[in-house]
Structure 1
């Protein structure tokens, strides 16, 4: 009898912990690490597949809320649970995606229409091409204020404030 009660108590505590972990939406500390991968949270990834189901919770039994239909779309991972990653897109919409649908390849979305891609990270630099709002580009190196991006054979430097998928203080070489 005592063992059965201990088992039920353990199950109840485990369920409360799981529910709390899945519903917590408080601030994420910059030094936080994922319990599964030990990688920093939050962090950016991209959608590897042409389609990716976004679920209400971290399992196949949870309802699909919507489907991403653009390969390469940048997403921010905010939590981990087993083989599932809680993600958020540039609009703030989020849900759970299976890790096999995600890639570590960094991409960004252009937020500014007809964004000039510049030869150098300076406002007066030569314009090499222009990118429309909504273009998904591969992320290259970044300084404090500028990032190098490439899409459809064109590449150049853009202000960080004109793209989504990179942190304001992030530096990449």
Structure 2
């Protein structure tokens, strides 16, 4: 008897995940619509690959999402990824350190609005990788960590 290996895109595997959950925009351009379908008007155009968003509801092939600014609307599930990302927020730069400590060596200064892959978080710090620059950033300086708000 043979073994069948099924490879599905992350957007398909996320369908059974309880909401809310974190996701990110997988493409360079994504439309947020006022309703769950391609015939609904476009409310926002996102030109931000890897932008972290919260999925708050599902309807067939669309997801009701909330962006970092609190805007809500529907995006096709095919444009979303389960890859955990974060965006630097707040005023001023975020200091990226070699270790999760304010006393650790300063590696980079990261401007607000920069997105990147989110790694492990501990003791108020999160591992962050943006365009090959990686280190630890205080969790209060990023959106996309912890449990998503309901």
Asked whether the two chains share a fold, i.e. TM above 0.5, the reply is: yes
Find out whether 1:93 has 2:71 as its counterpart.
yes
User: Normalization by structure 1: what TM-score?
Assistant: 0.73
Q: How does 1:1-173 map to 2 (within 5 A)?
A: 37-112=15-90, 113-167=92-146
Structure 1, unpaired ranges of 5+: 1-35
Quick check: which one's helix share is greater?
1
Report how far residue 122 of structure 1 moved: 1.1
Q: Cα 1:159–1:74, aligned 2, differ >3 Å: closer, same or farther?
A: same
Q: How many residues align?
A: 134
CA shift at 1:40, angstroms? 2.4
TM-score (ref. length: structure 2): 0.84
More strand by percentage: 2
Q: Secondary structure at the match of 2:15?
A: coil
- Whose RCO is larger (CA < 8 A, sep 6+)? 2
Q: After TM superposition, which residue ranges in structure 1, 4 or more long, deviate above 4 angstroms?
A: none
Q: Deviations over 1:52-108 (max 9, x none)?
A: 111111011211111111111111101001111001111000100000000111110
Give the SS at the match of 1:37.
helix
Give the direction of change, closer, same or farther, for the CA distance of 1:38–1:110 in structure 2 (3 Å limit).
Answer: same
Q: Is the 8 A contact 1:119 1:126 kept in 2?
A: yes
Give 1:144 shift.
Answer: 4.4
The superposition leaves residues 8-64 of structure 1 with CA deviations (integer Å, 9 ceiling, x where unpaired) of: xxxxxxxxxxxxxxxxxxxxxxxxxxxx82212111111111111111110112111
CA RMSD of aligned residues (A): 1.6
